[in-house]
Amino acid sequence: MGGGLPNFLLVWILVLALLCYCHKIGKLIDKGTTRLFAILPVICIFVVLPLYISVFNLRALSSFFLSWLANFKLLLFALDQGPLSPQPVPLSLPHFIALACLPIKIQQNPPPNLSPHSQELVNVNDNQDLEKLVNVEDNDTPSQEVPRKGLSTPLKYFIKFLLLVLFGYMYTKEEYIHSKIIFLVYVIHIYIGLEFILAMVGAVARAFLGIELEPQFDEPYLASSLQDFWGKRWNLMVTSVLHPAVFNPVRSLFSRFMTKKWTLLPAAIASFLVSGIMHELIFYHIGRRKPTWEVTCFFLLHGVCLTIEIVIKRELNCSWGLPRVVAAPLVVGFVVATAVWLFMPTVVRCKIDVEARMEIIAFINFVKGVYIYLKNVL
């Protein structure tokens, strides 16, 4: 299924054509079953398209953008929900295509002069993420603040870039460093690399579309709880899609069998289960290997732990939390430890770590070459 860069371009030309078709369908067919059946072939195509891209990183990104984000947004669009169906003004074609296939979300500024509690309610009504909904109902700790708007500051990106350079140096000395430390570096490298890529995509989209965007990450290493980590700080584009596509329907379904107070628990676990399955699909696209379901177990474990956290807070009627300086290392430590245990084996099996290491070493060697050249010239 190779083809290199030309094949990648052909795939994305097809993507653009299919999204133009979906945009037209939205104007011709009302929401509901008929629109869903009209869009369903596009969703099926988006599931398999990444397999026709041979370039490793381009295949990985296309899988995330198309098979996961775009497909979930199109499913919501079939029901006239989600980011592709703003009310009352429909999206223009360029905005529709960008929002459908890129990990971006138009920033929704809350009305001015509202109290923090009123802003929370506005966010919930606007189908914001799971964390805000849980916090409103559970009276979560005061440290659970509404995430800052906009992309991260250049200084923070520069610091993270320096960390990548440091990691590259460590990779060149890998034989002298304990394997567990290298494994830990891979975990941090994946986070920083993903944040850089999504930030660059967001910056380009913002420049071309002239709109302000929500942040994709909000410093997850500062999370004061699992709710805070997964709901407010980690990969917020995924959270914003899972909430209306999975969390709300499951919660509505379980409201028939239990009180509303407890329906968020199965809804949260279902959201983590779907996230795990979609990660398995992405890893299948990347490595062309049958899933071992360790990644799904990782997300299910966090889903269960998050629901336990909610139950404990609710039963003890907690209105306080550990200081962030204490809570953040505990939360991040748990995430990293479980990632090394259940997530990273699949990363290694798909050779993502090898590709990342080769890329950063190649970049460092390129910078060295440019430096030596300029030094000799000047």
Question: Are residue 59 and residue 136 in the same domain, yes or no?
Answer: no
320 burial level (CB within 10 Å; 0-12, 13-18, 19+) = exposed
Question: Of 9-13, 59-63, 132-136, 250-254, which range is least confident?
Answer: 132-136
Residue 45 lies in a domain: yes
**Low-confidence winner among 42-51, 148-157, 211-220, 367-376 (lowest mean pLDDT):** 148-157
Residues 126 and 20 in one domain: no
Cα torsion 302, 305, 306, 308 to 10°: value is 160
**Count of other CB atoms within 10 angstroms of residue 224:** 25
Length of the chain, in residues: 378
pTM of the model: 0.81
In terms of domains, do 226 and 340 share one?
A: yes
Which residue segment(s) compose the domain that 30 sits in? 1-102
Please check the confidence at residue 51 and state whether its pLDDT lies above 70: yes
Least confident of 117-121, 179-183, 350-354: 117-121
Examine the domain organization and report whether 274 and 324 are in the same domain: yes
- Identify the pLDDT of residue 140: 38
b/e 99-135 (16+ beta carbons within 10 angstroms → b): bbbbbbbbeeebeeeeeeeeebebbbeebbbbbbbbb
Q: Tens digits of per-residue pLDDT, 320-378?
A: 667 888 899 999 999 999 998 999 888 888 877 777 677 777 777 777 787 787 878 87
Instruction: Express each pLDDT in 193-233 by its tens digit.
Output: 888 888 888 888 888 888 778 888 989 999 999 999 998 89
Task: Please tell me whether residues 16 and 75 are part of one structural domain.
Answer: yes
Across the range 130-143, mean pLDDT stands at: 40
Do 62 and 127 belong together in one domain?
Answer: no
Q: Do residues 231 and 135 both lie within one domain?
A: yes
Q: Are residues 314 and 274 in the same domain?
A: yes
Q: Using the 3D structure, point to which of 102, 133, 167 is the last residue of a domain.
A: 102
Does 98 share its domain with 124? Answer: no
Kindly indicate the confidence band of residue 154, based on its pLDDT and cuts at 50, 70 and 90.
Answer: confident
Q: Which amino acid is at 320?
A: W
Report the pLDDT value the prediction gives residue 152, as an integer from 0 to 100.
Answer: 59
* 291: preceding bond cis by omega (within 30 degrees): no
Average pLDDT over residues 157-174: 84
Domain assignment of residue 189, yes or no:
no
Higher local confidence (pLDDT), 156 or 245: 245
**pLDDT band (50, 70, 90) for residue 306:** very high
pLDDT at residue 297 greater than cutoff 70:
yes
267 and 304 belong to one structural domain = yes
- Answer yes or no: do 59 and 124 share one domain: no
Decide if 85 is inside a domain. yes
241 and 98 within one domain? no
128 part of a folded domain: yes
pLDDT band (50, 70, 90) for residue 135: very low
Q: Which of 68, 102, 136 delimits the end of a domain?
A: 102
Confidence of residue 319 (pLDDT cuts 50, 70, 90): low
Helix, strand, or coil here: 106? strand
The pLDDT value given to residue 187? 86
Whether 242 and 271 have beta carbons less than 8 Å apart is answered as yes
Model confidence at 243: pLDDT above 70: yes
Domain count of the fold of the chain: 2
Residue 192 lies in a domain: no
Mean predicted lDDT score pLDDT of the chain: 82
Q: What is the pLDDT of residue 370?
A: 79
